[in-house]
A and B are shown apart, each in its own frame.
Chain A
Amino acid sequence: MGTFIQQVINGLTVGGIYALIALGYTMVYGVLRLINFAHGDLCILGAFVGLTMLSGALGGGHPGPALVLLAFVVAVIAISVAGVALEFVAYRPLRKADRLAAVVSALGASMLIENGIMLIWGPEVRVFPSGLLPATTWHVAGASISFVEVMIIIVSVVLMAALYGFVNHTRFGTAIRAAAIDQDAARLMGINVNRVISSVFVIGPALGAVGGLFIGLYYREAYFTMGWTYGLNAFIAAIIGGIGNIPGAMLGGVLLGLFNAFAAGYVSSSWQNAITFALLIAILLIRPSGLLGERVAEKV
């Protein structure tokens, strides 16, 4: 029982992170029908920007929690700007080109960011400083949950609820959904679709930066190829939930996190990736468009 609860806690923590990152993949896909392969790297760039803030870029003597909060604010702003710039440089000029061109551009952007991180922060594993957040651990029914885990779960839930409310209950959120359904029809409503696309490249990377920094704070490390590893898992989460579908990305992230945790807890962590892909294949066999995906058919 203790192991079970422990794996649920681990799974929700990792699942929350996957979900935050998966939202970036799914929102961009929803509006542009493009997989932003650079998204995982942007998220990890966020972790590194946060790391720099936490490693005393401001000089010593600041209280840990305030520093962490500041690191999040700076990372979110920096990665949002990077997201908009990425769209402007790598995707916008190819908007009317063959879809393959945009995919190649996305892969190129991914490599560029990954290697940029390596040039700035080095190829070695960077360790996050300790003692910034309370080391409190609570014990529940034979399992333990740390302050960082509680923070990740709560913040993820709050951010996802806020996004859900924004997309479903505001005028601009409805415009985003409309542009995802039919861009020309959205234009006829007077919606500036370029602005919608830019907004998606702010929201996705902003959430991703939070997810990336969570990864750093949770595992207490960051390395330049991390974007690929976590990006792939979040991408799979988005597909499991039904790519293009926002609640789907949330559901897929949490499910994949739980599955990973149970695989690590009950089988072996070295089987984790195999089990992840087995889950992906099983779900796609039963529901080819993902759990909450509506239809795979291209627009006519």
Chain B
Amino acid sequence: MSLLEIADLRVNYGEIEALKGVSLAVAQGEIVAILGANGAGKTTLMRTISGLLAPRGGTIRFDGAEITKLGADRIVQRGIAQSPEGRRVFGTLTVLENLRLGGFTRPRGEIMGSLDFVLGLFPRLAERRAQFAGTLSGGEQQMVAIGRALMAKPRLLLLDEPSLGLAPIIVQAIFRSLREIARTGVTILLVEQNARMALKLADRGYVLEVGRIVLADEAKRLLASPDIQAAYLGGESSAHRV
């Protein structure tokens, strides 16, 4: 049985139908990537899974139980944490305060182990723990956002554009950390415009186009597919994406 199962998910943004019946599944321990251009509905999907947006139709099941109508805070308690698009760190709180908030739903005594893990994974954050998160570089803020999500000890980690606006060398470092996180048994659902990096990391991938899943396959096969190469891996059309 899949850890996350989404069936016929429909979400509106005002009058616009952003998701037009999306179905996908993520198995325990998998890394799944969702590719798509800007406006395809990737962030809408992530926000809906986390309970920040209410769907108009369809269901989201996690670990066998329906979570479609749960509030965002309850969904975190169930074991889904998200590193959102644009990182959204709490700029006027310190790095340590940001990380501790990630463990808000857990008993105080239990978060120390996660904190050690996160600071081990991102030693830069250990150096800067007393600094305001808003003063960090983009890459460091991304580490805070991922670390903060890990503090919830999630079974499913949602990552929305972790490479956005970061230098290639930083992106590589972030993706190395993601591999390490996956090795600890965390299931990962990743949304990316950097399709190459995402597919190299992922087991499987979905392609989302204007609110619909148009392709689903193993990541290796997607990487090798001429269509995907043309559209998302540096072909002409992707070069002109806004």
Contact = CB atoms under 8 A, between A and B. Distances in A.
Q: Are A and B subunits of one complex? A: yes
Interface in B97-113: 97, 100-102, 104-105, 108
Nearest to B91: A181
A175 interface: yes
Closest 8 CB pairs of A and B: A190-B76, A190-B105, A187-B72, A185-B88, A192-B73, A189-B101, A190-B73, A181-B90
A294 B91 CA distance: 12
Given A184-B52, A189-B148, A191-B73, A174 B92 contact: no
A68 interface: no
B55 interface: no
27 contacts: A174-B100, A175-B101, A178-B93, A178-B101, A181-B92, A181-B93, A182-B88, A185-B90, A187-B50, A187-B51, A187-B72, A187-B73, A188-B52, A188-B81, A188-B149, A189-B76, A189-B104, A189-B105, A189-B148, A189-B152, A190-B72, A190-B76, A190-B104, A190-B152, A191-B104, A192-B73, A193-B73
B84 interface: yes
Q: How large is the interface on B (under 10, 10 to 19, 20 to 34, 35 or more residues)?
A: 20 to 34
B142 interface: no
B23 interface: no
B165 interface: no
A32 B90 CA distance: 16
Given A171-B104, A177-B92, 17 more contacts: A177-B93, A178-B90, A181-B90, A184-B88, A185-B84, A187-B51, A187-B52, A188-B50, A188-B72, A189-B104, A189-B152, A190-B72, A190-B77, A191-B73, A191-B101, A191-B104, A192-B73
Contacts of A184: 47, 52, 72, 84, 88
Contacts of B193: none
Contacts of B50: 187-188
A275 to B, nearest CB: 33
Contacts of B108: 171
A161 to B, nearest CB: 20
Interface in B37-79: 47, 50-52, 71-73, 76-77
Nearest to A300: B86
A181 B194 CA distance: 29
B82 A188 contact: yes
Contacts of A191: 73, 101, 104
A181 B89 CA distance: 9
Contacts of B101: 174-175, 178, 186, 189, 191
